[in-house]
């Protein structure tokens, strides 16, 4: 069985500060990992994904994440927060079976203070 743990249900940063959202996963097979963002009353938008290859992946809106197998982590970072980054962020792992369903963490709400 797969699982995702997101440390910190709420993170608050100042505008212009570094954003770091933590994600650890558990998977019995090589994982495919994702970060999604959800704005209020909207669906989820894919920020970035790791499947194979380069362990540092870049996504939209200046976000990036690094897959660290030894630490079973896939933390999301952004060098400089913008007010528009305020949202809920979800880390997810895909099972590599035929169904490819996503298992999500419980989410981290990012607040950006002016």
User: Which of 49, 56, 38 is CA-nearest to residue 94?
Assistant: 49
By beta-carbon proximity to other proteins, the closer residue of 17 and 103 is 103
Determine how many CB atoms are found less than 10 A away from the CB of residue 3.
12
Q: Is 40 in the site for other proteins (CB under 8 A)?
A: no
Asked if residue 105 binds other proteins (CB under 8 A), the reply is yes
Q: What is the dihedral of CA 108, 111, 112, 114, to 10 degrees?
A: -170
Nearer to other proteins among residue 17 and residue 44 (C-beta)? 44
**Contact residues: other proteins, CB under 8 A:** 4, 9, 32, 36, 41-46, 49, 51, 90, 92, 94, 98-107
């Amino acid at each position: 069985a797969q699982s995702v743990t997101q440390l910190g249900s709420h993170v608050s940063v100042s505008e212009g500060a570094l954003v770091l959202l933590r994600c650890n996963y558990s998977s019995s097979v090589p994982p495919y990992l994702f970060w999604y963002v959800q704005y209020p009353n909207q669906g989820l938008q894919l920020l970035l994904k790791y499947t194979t290859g380069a362990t540092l992946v870049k996504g939209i809106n200046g976000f990036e994440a690094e897959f660290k197998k030894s630490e079973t982590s896939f933390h999301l970072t952004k060098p400089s927060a913008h007010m528009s980054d305020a949202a809920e962020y979800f880390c997810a792992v895909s099972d590599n079976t035929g169904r490819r369903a996503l298992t999500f963490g419980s989410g981290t709400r990012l607040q950006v203070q002016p």
